[in-house]
Amino acid sequence: MAISKKASIRKTSPEREAAGQQAAVRSAQRQKAVSAAASETQNVRQFAKTRTRAIQAHTQARGQRQQAKRDSR
């Protein structure tokens, strides 16, 4: 039996396969960029939190030293 025309049409052409691979690469690169941006944002937020804690601890320690000086008088 000969291959029907319908069956041969269903097969994808090489150009279509290449286009599909390029689309997959583009979407993978886009996802990688989004992931990198998200982790950078997370790092910035974490640093902002730790910076705030450090400033508060510094202020608190300064206040404790001043109070200790007052108490020693």
Structure tokens at 15: 């150009």
Whether 51 is in a domain gets the answer yes
Q: What is the mean pLDDT of the chain?
A: 82
pLDDT per residue as tens digits for the range 12-47: 566 777 787 888 889 889 888 888 888 888 888 888
User: Do the domain assignments include residue 62?
Assistant: yes
Q: Domains in the chain: how many in total?
A: 1
Q: Is the pLDDT of residue 64 over 90?
A: yes
Q: Is the pTM of this model over 0.85?
A: no
- Tell me, yes or no, whether 57 lies in a domain: yes
pLDDT value at residue 8: 57
User: 15 lies in a domain?
Assistant: no
Pick 9 or 41 by higher pLDDT.
41
In a domain, 8, yes or no: no
Q: What percent of the chain has pLDDT over 70?
A: 81
Task: State the residue range of the domain holding 56.
Answer: 46-73
H or E stretch covering 57: helix 14-72
